Amino acid sequence: MRRWLLLLFLATIAIDWPLLPFNARATDALFIVAAIAILTKARWLWPSFTALDLAVAGYITGSVIAVLFSPDPRAGAIELVRHAYLAAIYVVIVVAVKQGLAPTVATGLALSGAVLAVLGVVALPIQAMLGVGTDRIGPVTSLPYLGETLRLRAFTATPALLACVLTVSVPFVVLHPAIAASRARSWLAGFVMAVATVMTFSHSIAGSAVSAVTVSWHRLRAQPAGRMAAAAAVVVIVLGFNFAATVSIRSVGDSSLRDRSIYQYAVDAGRAEIAGVNVEYETMSYFRLKQVAWDAFTSRPLTGVGLDRFHVITEAALKEGRLTAPYRLIDPHSTVMGRLAETGLAGGVTLIIFWIVIARETRQVLAQHRQHAWIATAAAAALLGTLVNTMNADVMNFRFAWVALGLVRGLRGGD
């Protein structure tokens, strides 16, 4: 029963339904049931804490400090409860792995993206051709250069979130024994996941590309040219999507080509002369949010403006003309910059230490684990891709990211 409850929780972990108070969803109710089943079977001994455990505690402590010095402690306290909930997911996954459920966790992470990818790849073309569908599967969004575009969301909160889910899920799908045992299944799974990722038209495609190439790196060991091409492609994708999150080019010089699409992501227009060529551009919201976050951090560098109070500074930025109305109440969309803005150095330093420890512990798991080598490799690829997505997403709020962390901790060993 534990195994099936855990699998059901993980398979539904990214589904944004129904909208419940405190940002809860149906999957959270499944987690509670699964957690009870797992924890009642646990052997309770005095734990031996690892560096990753201490890093999690440090991260939470940084949030606590920000709440204590916040102008609105109540708002921060609610967010702190959410942080504690994510840490609880981490703990339950660690216990589950120690109970021999590592393959179940890995399978669940594979299903978390694969089910949505298959649903989207099948449903979105039907929606595009017949007009039969829902925004919960594929909303139409106006994008720079592309104009009106049907994007895959597949019952997640946003297309960008789906891309982040696939960043974590793809390595577990590709390396899963049920897929890797057949060349045909491997190609089919890779194709479906790749198509679903591209159809999100999200900046988080960059993280998905990194995780996919990382998990394929060993397979390319006999093809040095293939490795170089894959690495070069990933660099181009990461740089390209992050440039696209900074500015959109409207026109270059006297060229008749001009991007005339209307989209909400632009917050103001500008003009620059580069090597004698006049370039018209618009500043993208992702970049402006980082600027707003940095200014908030420098105004209160030690403890920040307060946990979960980023909306206060975006409201002020709107009044100053730095943001447009759609971004009046918006999240930071950047893990590090948002953390610095809300929690200052107290939270920023603990976040950076956290990720350094994650890298170190993941490396140790890769070096020492033989029984579940494919799971360790998939977790490492998923976390590396997630790290790339920190530039334009608040990844520390993702349930599935904490599941991957719990998986690494469980494989690392210790009581």
- Using one digit for the tens of pLDDT, what is the confidence trace for 161-181? 999 999 999 999 999 999 999
Q: What are the tens digits of pLDDT across the range 304-345?
A: 999 999 999 999 999 999 999 999 999 999 999 999 999 999
Q: What are the tens digits of pLDDT across the range 52-94?
A: 999 999 999 999 999 999 999 998 999 999 999 999 999 999 9
pLDDT given at position 369: 66
**What Cα–Cα distance (Å) separates residue 176 from each residue in 94, 247, 406?**
20, 39, 18
Structure tokens at 257: 């080509």
Q: What are the tens digits of pLDDT across the range 387-415?
A: 999 999 999 999 999 999 999 999 987 65
- The residue among 59 and 273 whose pLDDT is bigger is 59
pLDDT given at position 133: 78
Q: Is the pLDDT of residue 221 over 90?
A: no
Long-range contact list for 322-326, CB < 8 A, 24+ apart? 322/267, 322/268, 322/288, 322/291, 322/292, 323/267, 323/285, 323/288, 323/289, 323/292, 324/264, 324/266, 324/267, 324/285, 326/264, 326/285
Element (H, E) at 315: helix 310-319
List the one residue out of 35, 183, 178, 25 whose CA is nearest residue 111: 178
Q: What are the tens digits of pLDDT across the range 111-131?
A: 999 999 999 999 988 888 887
**The dihedral sign for the CA sequence 153, 157, 163, 166:** negative
Q: What are the tens digits of pLDDT across the range 152-162?
A: 999 999 999 99
Dmax over CA atoms of the chain, in Å, equals 72
Q: Around 237, how many Cα atoms within 13 Å sit in the side-chain half-sphere?
A: 23
pLDDT given at position 218: 84
pLDDT, averaged across the chain:
95
